[in-house]
Amino acid sequence: MFSKVLIANRGAIACRIIRTLRRMGIASVAVYSEADAGSAHVDLADEALLIGPAPAAQSYLVIEKILEAARRTGAQAIHPGYGFLSENPGFAEACAAAGITFIGPKPDQMRNFGLKHSARAIAVAEKVPLLPGTGLLKDSAEALREAARIGYPVMLKSTAGGGGIGMQLIWREADLPAAFESVERLSRSNFKEGGLYLEKYVQRARHIEVQIFGDGRGNVAVLGERECSVQRRNQKIIEETPAPGLSDAQRDALFACAEKLGKAAAYESAGTVEFVYDDDTGQFYFLEVNTRLQVEHGVTEEVTGVDLVEWMLRQAAGELDLSTWKRNTCGASLQVRLYSEDPGRNFSPCTGLITEWQMAPGLRVETWVARGSEVSPYYDPMLAKLITRGADRAEALAAMQTALALTRVGGLETNLRYLRQILEADAFVAGRVTTRYLDSLPYLADSFEVLEGGTQTTVQDYPGRLGYWDVGVPPSGPMDPLAFRLANRLAGNGPSAAALEITLSGPTLRFNCDAVVALTGAELDTDLDGRPVASWTSFAVSKGSILRLGKVKGAGMRAYLALRGGLDLPDYLGSRSTFTLGLFGGHCGRALRTGDILHLCAEKAAAPALPRLPLQAEPSVGPSASSPAPTAVLATIPSSLIPSYSREWSIGVMYGPHGAPDFFHPEDITDLFSASYEVHFNSARTGVRLIGPKPRWARTDGGEAGLHPSNIHDNAYA
């Protein structure tokens, strides 16, 4: 067995491999790019080497850099994980030339199965069922002729690559020429291979794959199948085993086909044979073979008890013999992929700092992040794989539903809420989903998007973050706690619910759900979909509406917007208030910015009833000829309870320890208590600086060091 192995990958799979190596007593070497310096796999490995800048083309995909790292550290073998160089036969050959073992299939097996058109040829020879399709196409003209022969709809596919990249569904002849050019260009860019072919599209298709493993001694083990039909844009997001609804005869036929293909190629190491299953006819057809470890391999491990990474290591070291191995599966397992992406904006990737990371107990989590991790834009947005198991599918599903309910991620958008929604859907619970299922499942988000952030809009709660002055954290919370609590009362919340504090001019918000909101504090120039909104009222907002909170009109600087249920944000030092100077609390520890998404608490529908504070219903005002109709309000604060804001305030001052005659003249003290002061522009929540009369001082200097007479304090915070 090897004594030291290098992992030519990053993220969750690198961490997964390192943990197996540690359990086996094998030293690990991690490589990382500049963007991954803080990744968990760097800390987890016994050694770690920087191999280049953030772009993968300058780091993880540079074969010579990987081999040089192995030579420098004395690694005897390289595990490629999945993605990057894992299915690159040239890399496997370069490893062999350097005297380093490549942990994976042989280069010719990658070539034969890695190009889908050659894999189809092997399937034809082995009499494995295939969808109607073509060989490699010369040009779009041939593609048009073949598509007419096969019949629309058809799937145009790149012969190289995987993971949903390089394929496009064509419904009609007019769309094929442009699609041909686009997919060919994408294929050459991503896989350095432009070959395309056509395949008949099954409209009610399920994606079922079979895990195989070859020991290099002529034995090919079939470990079981996985259901991978929950996909968006041909990318899997939920996988499970066993596949629901298959008969024993269907399952045996799938296994037999997968085993024949593996033996035909004398296959070595881990591989996955993928099939499309026609849900209308019950027939299955060969798709392709992935000559690597799959992202979803964990569910197979859960039901078989096999560590596939360990098998790969032992096979590469010549220590694996599967001649007597028998499949013995137990129970069911489910995996979801947690992505840093926004389902509400067409699954666009999201980057930033993870401010909250709370995984449910008992959940198998394969990840590379933790609270405080920075998610960069350079790589796949998958943050973690979450895996459960149970005695049967119902138990594994219930465990996952519970786990996702307890899981919390903050600081950037993820698909966590979408995953919860999918797992609660009737069709998924019944095991009746196809690869197009998510096309008809809209994402429902209790959230709003910040279109403009305003001067300084922050999240605060009441009473805020108190009691941490001794560690240098000043009090946080609303500057106007009365207006803040009244806003929450109007919204139907308790006084401590997190809400928005607006300074001078407010944000513009687009709502992704129906909501009840309340506005208090300084009067703002506000409108909802162009209709005026008054302060000290609560009102309903419909999904899709835009609320514009403009500039302060008149006296006062701060206004408050509360939303029924409150904002769903993590506590930090016992509060959800934002401390911008410390970069923590609230939403990402800062004021709101354009593009931010904030969520309402899931309990918003069950928010407390309006409290006993006198509130009065306010009928909507009819439209006038010169302006749009005001927004209908739900309740208002009685005018007798609304605080009066002005530009002048009287404040209470206590006579302190430095008021003795040896510091100040009596007339200085008189000035201090009677003068009018102006707030200096360089003031903030952490301190308000006042401009007023200068003291005359009772002393000529500040002590033995000859300092200024104002040097009277004996500690920095006095």
Per the CB < 8 A criterion, the answer to whether 429 and 328 are in contact is no
pLDDT at 489 (0 to 100):
95
For 245-268, give one letter per residue: b (16+ CB within 10 A) or e: ebeeebbebbbebbbbbbeebebb
Closest of 482, 543, 540 to residue 511, by C-alpha: 543
Q: Which of 134-143, 356-365, 685-694 has the lowest mean pLDDT?
A: 685-694
Residue 707 has pLDDT above 90, yes or no: no
Asked if 588 and 355 count as a contact pair (C-beta separation under 8 A), the reply is yes
How many Cβ atoms sit within 10 Å of the Cβ of residue 490? 29
At residue 610 the predicted structure's pLDDT band, cuts being 50, 70 and 90, is very low
- Lowest mean pLDDT segment, chosen from 76-80, 295-299, 497-501, 646-650: 646-650
- pLDDT: which is higher, 200 or 625: 200
Please, which residues have CB within 8 angstroms of residue 452's CB and are 6 or more apart in sequence? 507, 508, 594
Instruction: List, for residues 227-241, the tens digit of each pLDDT value.
Output: 999 999 888 999 999
Are the C-beta atoms of residues 374 and 352 closer than 8 Å to each other? yes
In this prediction the pTM is 0.86
Taking only the tens place, the pLDDT of each residue in 509-548 is 999 999 999 999 999 999 999 999 999 999 999 999 999 9
d(CA 578, CA 587): 7
Q: What is the pLDDT of residue 374?
A: 95
Longest dimension (CA), the chain: 106
Residue pair 665/696 in contact (Cβ under 8 Å)? The answer is yes
Is the confidence at residue 466, as pLDDT, over 60? yes
Q: Which residues contact 545 (CB under 8 A, 6 or more apart)?
A: 510, 511, 528, 529
707 vs 701: CA distance, rounded Å? 6
What lies within 8 Å, CB to CB, of 716 at 6+ separation is none
Residues 6 or more apart whose CB falls under 8 angstroms from that of 426 comprise: none
Q: Which two tokens stand for residue 85?
A: 């160089």
Give the separation between CA 33 and CA 368, rounded to whole angstroms.
14
- What mean pLDDT comes out for the span 408-412? 95
Q: What values do phi and psi take at 288, rounded to 5?
A: -165, 175
Dump pLDDT digits (tens) for 372-401: 999 999 999 999 999 999 999 999 999 999
| CA–CA gap between residue 521 and residue 683 (Å, rounded) | 20
Tell me the three-class secondary structure of 115-148, residue by residue.
CHHHHHHHHHHCCCCECCECCCCCCHHHHHHHHH
CA–CA dist 240, 433 (Å, integer): 12
Output DSSP code: residue 183. H
Instruction: Give the mean pLDDT of the chain.
Output: 91
